[in-house]
Structure 1
């Protein structure tokens, strides 16, 4: 997908967001302007980039950081097109001798995540979230931020130690997609129902310097999750 085709899609979505109750409210005149200036697919198809740029400028006022949204979607599109061999496994690393030391955990996280992007079909979003799409879907629905989602997941430390798993419990989990660690909140709206991703999550996008006091996740630890989006129970 070309950048302009993707931009047109983002533009259309941005403009349609004006009618979403969750989007920022606007007055009636603004709504009429959005309707009048909505993306015309025929115009875009003729290669009228000037018209598209005007619509993108409008979309930028509706959805800040549109360029970042486009860049993120391009990364996801590339990941979906990357075939992952069944023999590819998640790399492991030895934890520091003192797993409660935030400095040691942080150093390991930076080293691990710096190297993970060289692994087959691992991509990184502008936020620093690294991921690999194990199972891609061509037409599954994607959740909006805040939608209820039903997932299977497995969380592990960098040494492969599992600390939580719906598969182990034998039952998927359902929860709001925006009340989770930042890495999940970013990943879920990019996923499609039926997809299975591996997430390589920086401490800043996980549990940060706090970790899980009294639990298995030390301060400043990077984490790995396998995440399968099963349904949008809505």
Structure 2
């Protein structure tokens, strides 16, 4: 079965809006019918999108948010948290969203935020949450840098006060391992299981963390 890129689909949607004056949703539906009639599998295509005010550009919220996060230096914590939440919500939707976000450097952007905010529990928890969503059924994105970051965070768990950091770090680890033998072996070699056991023991002895993590 034939497939197309997100960019190709977006171009046709844009043409339907500009050339035929179709509302955006109708333009998406027409593009979908056109490609499906040609035997194209659209399972890899993100269908929820916006269009710029001048009708010149298709906008994907996940990419818009990631691009903003790439240039985040002057953002308030609230703005950064809001953008990370959008990435999380979008990546939860479909594998197509996660693949699109990965293609446009989502993994490296989120990993960079995590590395920069190891002492900011709120941003750290939100970035780990977004990264765990990006990794859902998309575990190939894990690389050596990601494993190193994971190990560093697990080693610092005893000093982390926000239980959501521990919960989301564990979620990220889980998503990386599901149906992926190579990642499982890599994480075992990095002694991640031992850290998880240590966390569980700490959770049992800490009611505040226990209620959030287990």
- Say yes or no: TM over 0.5: no
Give the structure with the larger strand fraction: 1
For CA contacts below 8 A with separation 6 or more, give which structure has more relative contact order.
Answer: 1
Give the structure with the larger helix fraction: 2
TM-score by length of 1: 0.29
